[in-house]
Amino acid sequence: MGKNLFQKVWDAHTVGTLADGRTQLFIGTHLIHEVTSPQAFGMLRDLGLKVKFPQRTFATVDHIVPTVDQDAPQDPLAAEMMQALRKNADDFGVTYFDLASGKQGIVHVVGPEQGITQPGTTIACGDSHTATHGAFGAIAFGIGTTQVRDVLASQTLALEALKVRRIEVNGNLRPGVYAKDVILHIIRLLGAKGGIGYAYEYAGDVFDRMSMEERMTVCNMSIEGGARCGYVNPDAKTVAYLKGRPYVDMSDFDATATRWLSFASDADAKFDDIVRINAADIEPTVTWGISPDHGISISESIPDPAKAASAQDKASIDEALAYMKLPAGTPIKGVKIDVAFIGSCTNGRISDFREVAKYIQGHRVAAGVKAIAVPGSQIVAIQCEQEGIPEIFRAAGFEWRGAGCSMCLAMNPDKLVGDQLCASSSNRNFKGRQGSPTGRTVLMSPVMVAAAAINGSIADAREVFDLQQAAVA
C-alpha cells in the first residue's frame, strides 16, 4: 500500500515519540510575524534559550503595518510591536524581511515568492492561514505562541498525526468561477468544522489545472473548513514556479526537483476519507452570514430560518441574520455594500490583481463605495506597477495601497466603521472581523468584489463583466 503526501512528509520529519504518545515533529521552516512572536521571544529570554536554527527562521511584518505611510505608524502600540520584532530578529539572528527590504509582505505571500516554501517540507507559523504553503506539497499549519517558542527553541513540535481527506474536484469550472469559489463551495458542503482532525488533500483535474497562486487560495482557507492543513501534490507547475527563486538551491536542481516530486501521494495511497465534487456544480459563491460555511451561490436567496432543518440550524441562521441585518429569503444579489476590499493572504497575489485589472477598465466604483486594493507583498506591488495595474485600479476609483494584511483582520488603520458592509476577498466573515464590532463581511472572489464595487451592491460578475473565457484555463 502506498503512502499519501501527508504520511511521507510526517514520517520524514519524525524525531521520535514523546511520553504522552505525541510525535516530536521536526519543523524545517519557521515563519514568524509581529503579532504572535513577541511573547514567544519573551519566554525564550526567560528560559535563557537561543533560537535553535536561526537560518530556518524567517520573519516579516504584516498584520499591523499601515497601508498608507507605512514607515511611520501613528499607533504607538503598532510601533512597539514593529520595534520588538526588529530587536528579536537582531538579538537572535533571524532573517527579517522588513519594510526597507523590498521583500516585506504577508508572511504567506513572502514565503512562496522567496522560494522558502518548498515541497516535502514542514512549515509552521503562528498564524492559522499557514496552510497556504500546502499548495506546494508542504505540510504547513498554524500554531499558538507557546508553540512558536517550542519551534524557536527546539525546531520541533509535539503533535498528533492528522487523518487525511482527499477532496477530488473533477470536470471543468464554468466561466467566472474562480479558485475562491471552489474553496467556498467545499467549505459550504463540508462545514466549518468538517475538517477537524483532518488534513485536506485537494486533488483532481481542477487543481491540476490551477496556477500555483490559485492553489494557494484554496489551501489558504483549509482552516475555515476546520482542517489545520491542506495541500496539493507537487507537480511540474510547482517545480517551474520555484525554479530560480532566491531560497531555492540551484546547484543540483534536477535532483532537488526529483526529490520534491517524490513526496506526491502514491497512486495506491490510502485515505481516511474521499469526497468527490463535480466542478460544473460550482457557481460564483458568496457568504451571507458570520461563518465561512454560510455560503450560497450568487443566484440563490439568503436562507430562511423558517425553513431550517433543525432547531439548532434555525438558531444559527437567526443569529447570523440578526448580525448581518439581512432579510431572510431574499436574493443576496442586490444587497448594498459600503466597502470593497481586494487583498489578503487568500487573494492578494499578482494573479488576483491581473484578473481584476482585465475587467475593471472602463468601469467606475459606485458613488458612496470605498474600494481599496492592497497587494500582498512589496514584490507583488512592484510587479503590479511594472504592469500598469495600479493606474487601472485608480482610474476605476480604487485606492491603491502598500502591502500588508490590512482590512482582512483590521489590526492596522484599515477598518470598517459601524455596521458597514464589506464585499471582501479575504477569508473570514466572523462578527467584528474587519475592525468594527458591528461591521459586516461578505466573502467572495476578487472579481466578484470588483463587480460589487462597481454596482454598489452584491452582483454577479458574469453579468457585470464579460466573463465568457474560463477562469481556470
Partner 1 sequence: MPLDPVTQVSGRAVFIPGADIDTDRIIPARFMKCVTFDGLGEFAFYDVRFNSETGEKTDHPLNDPRFEGASILLAGVNFGCGSSREHAPQSLKKYGFNGVVAESFAEIFFGNSTTLAMPCVIATAADIAALRDAVENDPATIITIDVDGLRVRSSSGLDFPVTMPDSARDALVSGRWDPIQELLDNDSAIESKARELHYV
- Residues 374-393, interacting with partner 1 (CB under 8 A): none
The dihedral formed by the CA atoms of 246, 251, 257 and 260, expressed in degrees to the nearest 10: -70
Of 98, 153, 208, 456, the one binding partner 1 (CB under 8 A) is: 153
Of 35, 203, 326, 454, the one binding partner 1 (CB under 8 A) is: 35
Q: Is the dihedral of CA 212, 173, 441, 148 positive or negative?
A: negative
Considering the complex, what minimum distance in angstroms separates the CB of residue 377 from partner 1? 21
Binding flag, residue 230, partner 1 (CB under 8 A)? no
Contact (Cβ atoms closer than 8 angstroms) between residue 278 and residue 252:
no
Site for partner 1 in 408-467 (CB under 8 A): 409-411, 418, 428, 430-433, 435-438
Considering the complex, what minimum distance in angstroms separates the CB of residue 163 from partner 1? 12
Considering the complex, what minimum distance in angstroms separates the CB of residue 170 from partner 1? 29
Which residue, 268, 275, 263, 267, is CA-closest to 165? Answer: 275
Considering the complex, what minimum distance in angstroms separates the CB of residue 403 from partner 1? 18
Nearer to partner 1, 36 or 455 (CB): 36
Contact (Cβ atoms closer than 8 angstroms) between residue 63 and residue 345:
no
Considering the complex, what minimum distance in angstroms separates the CB of residue 77 from partner 1? 4
Binding flag, residue 45, partner 1 (CB under 8 A)? no
Binding flag, residue 26, partner 1 (CB under 8 A)? yes
Binding flag, residue 8, partner 1 (CB under 8 A)? no
Binding flag, residue 53, partner 1 (CB under 8 A)? yes
Binding flag, residue 68, partner 1 (CB under 8 A)? no
Binding flag, residue 127, partner 1 (CB under 8 A)? yes
Nearer to partner 1, 99 or 461 (CB): 99
C-alpha cell at 162: 492528522
CB atoms within 10 A of CB 271: 18
Rounded CA Rg of the chain: 21
Of 192, 308, 328, 382, the one binding partner 1 (CB under 8 A) is: 192
Binding flag, residue 156, partner 1 (CB under 8 A)? yes
Q: What is the DSSP letter of 29?
A: E
Report the C-alpha gap between 230 and 220 in whole angstroms.
8
Which residue, 153, 109, 117, 160, is CA-closest to 137? Answer: 117
Binding flag, residue 78, partner 1 (CB under 8 A)? yes
Residue with cell 516530486: 261
Interface segment toward partner 1; rule CB under 8 A; list 41-49, 104-112, 267-275, 444-452: 41-49
Considering the complex, what minimum distance in angstroms separates the CB of residue 334 from partner 1? 27
DSSP string, 146-201: HHHHHHHHHSEEEEPPPEEEEEEEES-PPTT--HHHHHHHHHHHH-TTTTTTEEEE
Nearer to partner 1, 2 or 418 (CB): 418
Report the C-alpha gap between 437 and 345 in whole angstroms.
22
Binding flag, residue 305, partner 1 (CB under 8 A)? no
Nearer to partner 1, 52 or 209 (CB): 52
Binding flag, residue 236, partner 1 (CB under 8 A)? no
Site for partner 1 in 82-101 (CB under 8 A): 84
Site for partner 1 in 345-374 (CB under 8 A): none
Binding flag, residue 15, partner 1 (CB under 8 A)? yes
Binding flag, residue 316, partner 1 (CB under 8 A)? yes
110-136 per-residue burial string, b: 16 or more CB within 10 A, e: under 16: bbbbbbbbbbbbbbbbbbbbbbbbbbb
Using CB under 8 A, count the residues that bind partner 1.
81
Which residue, 238, 282, 265, 267, is CA-closest to 119? Answer: 238
